Structure 1
Amino acid sequence: MSDVVRIGSRASKLAKTQVTEWLTPLAQQLPGVRFKREIILEGGDQDRVTPTLAEVAKTAGGSAFSTNQEAALVTGRVDVIVHSLKDLPTTVTEGTALLTTPGPREDVRDVLCGATLDDLPQGARVGTGAPRRVAQLLALRPDLRVVPIRGNVPGRLARAKGSLDAVVLAAAGLRRLGLMPEVHEVLDPLVFPPSPGQGALGIQVRTDSPAARLLKGTGDPQVDACVRAERALLAELHGGCSVPVGAWGRVESDGLLHLSAAVTSLDGTTQVTGVGCGSVEDPEKLGACVAEDLLAQGAAGILAAIRKP
C-alpha cells in the first residue's frame, strides 16, 4: 500500500495553486506517495468585515490566515499544511515544525496595480489591508488616502478598476495566478521591503508524524536561509505578521546572505532602516544582528506606539 499524505490549505485559487506548485516536483521525487488535498477555511476567509489598519497592527501574534489550519494539523485531520509563509507567525505551534523552505522562491516584491506611484494624483485613494504597505506608501507619498481592503487577489485587483485609483499587491500572487499584465509598477524591495517570507511557501508538519519523516530533506537550503533571516529579524522585534516591518534576504554574487529591513510608523513619518550580511550557515544570527541595529535606532518605540490601545 502506498503512503498517503493529507495536505491542508485555504480555499482560494491562489492557495490551491500554491499546493500544486509544491506538489508538482515532489510527486516526481516520491512516486510511491499518494497526496490528498483538504480545504480549511480561516477566519480571514469567512470574515468579510474589514478591520481598521490600527486594529490589524495591534495584533502581534496569531493569524487570521493560519490558525484553523494549524489546529487541523495538530489534531491529525491533515498531515501537512501549505502556507503563504508571510502569513505564518514566527512562533510555530508546539508539536509542529516548518520543513526546509521549497524553492525556487517566487518574486518577493510588491506591485502597484491601477497606476504608478509617480502618476497617482494628489490625494489618490490606494487600497491595501497591510499596515506595512500603508506605512511604506505614506513614507513615499504622504498625500495618499489609504483605504483598508481585504479578500482574495482577484477581488482586490478589481477595486483598482472601480472605486480606487490603485491597489498594492504581492507580485508572487499575481505571478502564480497569471495576472502580471495587470501590474503598473513593480516596487523596489530596497525602498519598499516586503513582508518577511513573502513569495515563499511554508510547509508545516507535525514533528512526530510519518509525513515529517517522509518529507525530510525536501526543500531549498538557500531559499530557507533567506526566509529564516527575515523571520528571525521579525521575531527579535517581537513583531507578528501584521506589523509594519519589511525585510528582504537574498544570497548575492559574493556568496553571502544579505538582509535589508525597515520599520515604519503607520503614518509614514518615521522610518528606521538596517542592512547586514553574513553566512548562509547562520541566518538567525544575521536576522538578530540587523534587528539589533533597528532597535538601536528606535524601532521598539515605533512598534510600541502602534500597539497602544
Structure 2
Amino acid sequence: MAQYLVGSRASNLAKAQVREYLRPLRERFPDTTFTHRAILEGGDRDRKSPMPDVSAVSGGSAFSSRQEAALSRGEVDMVVHSLKDLPTASPEGLTLLPPPGREDVRDALCGGTLAGLRKGARVGTGAPRRIAQLLAVRPDLHIVPIRGNVPPRLKKIETEGLDAVVLAAAGLRRLGLDDAIGELLPLEQFPPSPGQGALGIQVRTDEASAPLRAILATVGDTAVDAEVRAERAFLAALHGGCSVPVGAYAHTLADGTLHLAGQVSSLDGSTQLSAALTGPATAPEALGAALSATLIDRGAHTILDAARATVGAA
C-alpha cells in the first residue's frame, strides 16, 4: 500500500484545500494513504513586517518557501498551495501539476457593497493590486493595511472599526463563509491575482515520484491548467509578484480557445492599463507573453517600476 505525505500551510483554509484535493483521490485509490503535514511559513510567523522583508528572510516567497524546501528535501511528497501564493518559477527539481478545477476567481467585498460604502469608508486589505483597484473606482476610500488568515481578517470589520474588507471569494467559499460576502467585485474592473481560486499542486520531478505523479494526474483539469498557465506567464513576463498591482484572468471560450485579460495599475489607482487577447489553449504561455508585450508597449514597465520602488522604500 502506497503512503504519501502531503504538505500545506497551517491555516484552516490550507487544511480545507488539502481535504478538497484529497477527497476524490481517496475515493479512486482506496489502497493509497495520504497523510497531511502542516508547515508554518514565514508570512504566517511574522504578520507585522512588510511583505518584501518577510519574503527576503524566507529566501523567496513568504507563503511557499518553507513548503518547497520541505518538498525538495523529501520531508513531504507533495504540497497543496494556493496557486496565487506561488512564484512563477518553480525551484529546480520541482514542478506543478494541473489543478483539479477552480473555485470562484473573484474578489469579494465583505461588509457592504462598493457603491453603498460611505465617503471616506475604511476598507481593509494589504494587497497592492486590491488597493490600486479600489482606489481607481473609489479614490475617496481610506485603505487600512491588514494581514492574516481569512477569519481574523474578516473579524477586523468589528475589532478595528472597518467598514469593509476585501478577500478572495474562493477562500470564503472553501471555509463556508459565503454569507459574509456583500458583493462580488466585477472581473472587468477587478481582475484577480494570477492563479486565484486554483490550487497549486507541486511535486518532485525525480523518477521515484513518477507513481505519485501518475495518481495525481487523474484529477487534473487540462482546461483550468491552460488558463492559469496563461495568467502566470503574463505575470512572469512583467516580472511581477504579489508586491505590485497586476491582475489577470483567463477563461476557455466555447470554441476551445483561450481568452486572457490583464491589468497593470499604479499603486494609487490613478493610472491603469488593460488589454485582452485570445489564442489557442495549446499555447497558454505564448498568449501570456503576448499580452504582457502589449501592455509593455503601452508603458506597463514604467508603472510597475514606480510601484516596486515605492513598495521597496516602505
Under a length normalisation based on structure 2, what TM-score does the superposition of the two structures give?
0.93
Give distance in 1, aligned partners of 2:53 and 2:191: 22
**Alpha-carbon contact 1:56-1:242 (below 8 Å) kept:** no
Deviation at residue 212 of structure 1 after TM alignment: 4.2
Q: For 1:211-290, list aligned pairs within 5 A.
A: 211-216=209-214, 217-218=217-218, 219-290=220-291
Give distance in 1, aligned partners of 2:271 and 2:99: 33
Q: For 1:16-165, list aligned pairs within 5 A.
A: 16-51=15-50, 62-103=60-101, 105-162=102-159, 163-165=161-163
**Alpha-carbon contact 1:226-1:283 (below 8 Å) kept:** yes
Partner secondary structure for residue 179 of structure 2: helix
Give distance in 2, aligned partners of 1:16 and 1:46: 17
Partner secondary structure for residue 160 of structure 1: helix
**Alpha-carbon contact 2:125-2:131 (below 8 Å) kept:** yes
**Alpha-carbon contact 2:153-2:165 (below 8 Å) kept:** yes
1:193 correspondence with 2:213: no
CA gap of 1:281–1:241, structure 2 versus 1, over 3 A, is: same
Amino acid at match of 2:152: G
**Alpha-carbon contact 2:278-2:287 (below 8 Å) kept:** yes
Deviation at residue 240 of structure 1 after TM alignment: 1.7
- Give 1:293's aligned residue: 294
Partner secondary structure for residue 64 of structure 1: coil
Identify unmatched segments of 5+ residues in structure 2.
none
Aligned pair count reads 305
Bigger RCO of structures 1 and 2 (CA < 8 A, at least 6 apart)? 1
- Give 1:9's aligned residue: 8
1:183 correspondence with 2:181: yes
- Give 1:307's aligned residue: 308
Amino acid at match of 1:228: R
Partner secondary structure for residue 203 of structure 1: strand
CA gap of 1:155–1:50, structure 2 versus 1, over 3 A, is: farther
CA gap of 1:47–1:215, structure 2 versus 1, over 3 A, is: same
- Report the structure, 1 or 2, having the larger helix content: 2
Q: Encode CA deviations 1:165-199: one digit per residue, 9 max, x unaligned.
A: 10000000000011011111100112100000000
Give distance in 2, aligned partners of 1:56 and 1:269: 28
Deviation at residue 140 of structure 1 after TM alignment: 0.6
Give distance in 2, aligned partners of 1:70 and 1:56: 16
Q: Encode CA deviations 1:80-128: one digit per residue, 9 max, x unaligned.
A: 000000000001111100012222x000000100111011111111000
* Identity in percent: 60
Partner secondary structure for residue 93 of structure 1: coil
Deviation at residue 10 of structure 1 after TM alignment: 0.8
Amino acid at match of 2:68: E
Deviation at residue 63 of structure 1 after TM alignment: 1.5
Identify unmatched segments of 5+ residues in structure 1.
none
Amino acid at match of 1:281: T
